Structures are given as structure tokens and as C-alpha cells.
Structure 1
């Protein structure tokens, strides 16, 4: 194995980012595939991975070693363990706490560092074409429906609120089970759906994306479970970096990505977006019954 400082707590994304300068063009192609298709990698041979990436089995094995693994089997074993943990929220939480190694002043700094590292992986995962298509789909939609389950529901609700504030018709769905069916009846061909599924693509999300496809509505899926995501009918898949092997919260990346999309929309329709915010402030003043005037504040 190459003489590289390898930490057992490093995610595959961290390993790739930290060692990218040491990878050849072929090795980089293999590394990109490993990061985008962890489920498929875990069940594929070196020869198959070499065929898929247009390289060779030797390049695949060499890439695994350069990333700090003993070989391809070690890498695959790590991926299987990771994919198993991702389906167990309690295990994810326990692993995060165990890996923190609190410093003298607590866990704040390690958590911030983990969040920064996680966000640093986003640019390599989100392709420019998919980004442009995502922005266009939301911009052109007559109405945007954001959907999330559990923690992902808070991101969906925040996206809907942010879009409404800049003048885009939007609402959030957070129902599960039979209750989701009533929401799905409202979906029209001119609409767009944004599904937030950080760790798992639940059954409801698959059904939502299937229905959007049947109706003819645009659909965007944000998830770490990229191979699961590619098995859905989503028009656009925005991969999220792996959050389960570190202290960063899984909502940081989707929240940041969707915030950036909203800002893209604002940049394209700046005057109308600002006007909507001015209307918002006027309504707030009307509700509060008074307008905050800095000239009326007492002198300090």
C-alpha cells in the first residue's frame, strides 16, 4: 500500500479529495466512479470496474491502494460496512460520536471542520450540466413541490419558503403513507418536484418520482444513496457527499445546494425577487403595527 496517512474515519470522498493530486487520469476516472456508484462498486469485480471506467483491472486496484486501502477487496468491504450503517440512523449517530474525539473545548470545532470538509466535496459531485438543468427546471415550473421525510422534511419546507419569498409558487409535502396520495393528486405537467432524501430513498420518494414521470412533471432528487437514486424515475439526480462516516449533519449539503439554486433564481430575476421581499417587509410591518425606524432608537 502507498505510504499515505490513512485514517479509518476518512470517508471515500475525503480520501479522493485529499489524494487527488497523486492520481493519474485513469485513476481519477476510477475514483470518480467509486464515489458516484458505491453500491455498484461494492458488488463489482476489478475487471468489471475497469470496463465501466474505460481503464483496466490493474488501474482499479492501483487506485484503491492509492486511496489508502489494502486493495479492492478492502475498499469493497469498507463500502459494504458503510452502506449497512447508512440504513441504521442509530448506528450513524453512535459512529459520529465515537469518531469525534472531543478536544479540550468540546466538539464544536471538530463538527465545524467536518461540515467544511463535507461541503468541499460537493463541487466534484454536482456536474455543471445537471446543475443548469436543475435551475432551469425550477425556474420554468409553474409550481414547485418540495418533498422530504423526517429530517429531510425540514429542508423541503425551507426550500418552499425560500422560493415563495422570491416570488416562486412553491409548497412542501411531508406526508407519508396514504396521506401522500392526496398531495400527489395536485401534481400537474407544468410543475416540478424536488425530493430531498439524504441517506435513503424511501418507498414514498420512489412513488413520488414515478408519479411525476407519469404526469410529465420535472423532478429532481438529492441523495447520498446515488445508486438507489439512479434506480428511480428522477429526471435529475444531484449526488450528496457521504455524511455518515463523519460528524457533519446530513442536511448541510442539501440545504446549501438548494440555497444556491434559490440564489441562481434571484440573480436571474433580481428586480422581481427584491420586490417580493419588499412586499414581505411591508406585510410584516402591517402585522406588527409599527415600522422600525432607526432614527427612533434611543442613543447609547
Structure 2
């Protein structure tokens, strides 16, 4: 529901928001009652259920009831990510931890293992790997490139859009381009991926929206959970958390499949950096 949010009409969004906020409560409502609660119509409620992949409202109610039954015993239903200005520090910590863990669980549950495996295979065989990301996603892109570099792969992270396109024109079949964008609508990420796609490189998009513009040029789409954002968290940390989970999945799987090369490369990089770590050790 959070992933589809930006593409929904206002009335459908109202139903989706109500269901996402209170799945247990909505599971007890008839289609008429939910329409009244959201200020919409019965037809809108049914249309929302179908947009979410259900045959009708009855199937959506059953899914909501099952979701409510799976909630952890003793969990506080009042726990949300809407952090108020006057929230005590303990509440801030609890709310953030709750959102982070929920985002990780949602991302893991929603990952398409077939696509993930295909992305791993492409990375293992790649001559060169370019990763594109700007803003907060640039940090995730740098993390992926650095991890792959340490196990012997040729990987570059680009946060400058001009350099990203310059690098993309050098790619071709046998290379891989990875675009990291939570919204999937960042032009500075879409453009280099488009260039890499048109030159025959295998392209991968890491995004929370399966129908985002960036996916038009992606051979493989790896979906992350759509993080909830609020006034105090306009760039939600949990969006990066979900991206970093997928990065770790890619890295570990690639390291497994290229272990004979990855293990010595990782050991060599660790050994090369050892003198710098000891030189910077704290004084007694």
C-alpha cells in the first residue's frame, strides 16, 4: 500500500491509508462502514481492493484479519513512526526501532528471489559494474561499490550525474549498471541507467516503486519497502535501511558464488589496511 501510494487517486489513497493504519480495525468493517469511515464510496473501496491485487473487498478483509493475527503479542497498537516534537527520548527510540524493523521485514518478505538471483549472477560475471545514486541513495551506492571492490570486482559508484553518464556510455554487453533510487523518479539516476540500458549492459533498479520511471530501463527490479515519512523525517532513514539490506543480500550472495576469488581479495584488502588501522589506534 505504501509503495502504490504516489500513483493512487485521492479517494483510493484515503482507503489505502485507513487500511494501512489499522488493518485489524478495518478487517471488522463492512464495505459500507469502511466507505463511511474514509468519506468515499463502496465502489472506491472495492476498486482499492482490486488495485491491491485482491478479487474483491472480502478477500482484502481476510488478508487484513490474517495480518492482524500475525502481529506480535503484547505489541503496542499505539506505536507509530509519527514522532511528535514533544515526544520523550525513549518514545523516539522505540518508534524508530519499530519502523526500522518493520521496513526490514517488509523488504525481505517482498524480495523476488528469482530477480535477486539473476542480479547476483550478472554481478558475478560482470566485466565492470557502475552504480548510480544521488543524495541519500548515493551513500547506498557507495556501500555496494565498495563491498564489491573488496572482493575483487571492478565497481564504481557515481553520485555526480555528469560523470555517471560519462561512465555509462562506456558500458556494454557483459557489464552491469545499478540504479539506486527510493522514489525511482530521480532524473540524475534514470538518465545514466537509460544510457547503459541502450548500450546493452544488464541494468538493475533498486527502488520502492515497481512502476517508477527508473524501471523502464531496468532489466531487473529489486523492490524495497516504501518507508513512511513524516514532518520530522522528510528523508526517512528506514528507506536507506531497506536499500542496505538488499545491498548486503547482493554482496553476500556474490561472495558465496565467487568464493575462491572473493576470499583472497577480501583478505588482501584487510591486510593492506591493517597498518593504517594500527597507526590510528587510540593513545594510551
TM-score of Structure 1 vs Structure 2, range by shorter chain: 0.5 to 0.7
What's 1:62 paired with?
A: 58
The two structures have a TM-score, normalised by structure 1, of: 0.64
**How big is each residue's C-alpha offset from its partner over 1:149-170, in whole Å with a ceiling of 9 and x where there is no partner?**
1100000011101101111110
1:287 Cα deviation from its structure 2 partner: 5.2
What's 2:112 paired with?
A: 127
**CA root-mean-square deviation:** 3.8
1:200 Cα deviation from its structure 2 partner: 3.7
The two structures have a TM-score, normalised by structure 2, of: 0.68
Residue among 98, 106, 110 paired with 1:113: 98
**Distance change (3 Å), C-alpha of 1:281 and 1:230:** closer
Task: Write out aligned runs for 1:200-211 (5 A).
Answer: 200-211=184-195
**Distance change (3 Å), C-alpha of 1:270 and 1:125:** same
Structure-2 separation of matches of 1:133 and 1:115: 27
Residues 184 and 215, structure 2, Cα contact 8 Å, conserved in 1? no
Structure-2 separation of matches of 1:274 and 1:122: 28
**How big is each residue's C-alpha offset from its partner over 1:180-234, in whole Å with a ceiling of 9 and x where there is no partner?**
4323223232210111101342123222222122111001101112211575120
1:263 Cα deviation from its structure 2 partner: 0.6
Mapped pair 1:267 → 2:256: yes
Give the 3-state SS of the residue equivalent to 2:90 in structure 1: coil
What's 1:199 paired with?
A: 183
What's 1:243 paired with?
A: 227
1:11 Cα deviation from its structure 2 partner: 8.2
Give the 3-state SS of the residue equivalent to 2:146 in structure 1: helix
Residues 10 and 245, structure 1, Cα contact 8 Å, conserved in 2? no
Residues 148 and 154, structure 2, Cα contact 8 Å, conserved in 1? yes
What's 1:165 paired with?
A: 150
What's 2:265 paired with?
A: 276
Give the 3-state SS of the residue equivalent to 1:220 in structure 2: strand
Task: Write out aligned runs for 1:20-99 (5 A).
Answer: 46=46, 50=50, 53=53, 56=55, 59=56, 61-65=57-61, 98=83
What's 1:139 paired with?
A: 124
Give the 3-state SS of the residue equivalent to 1:157 in structure 2: helix
Structure-2 separation of matches of 1:107 and 1:241: 21
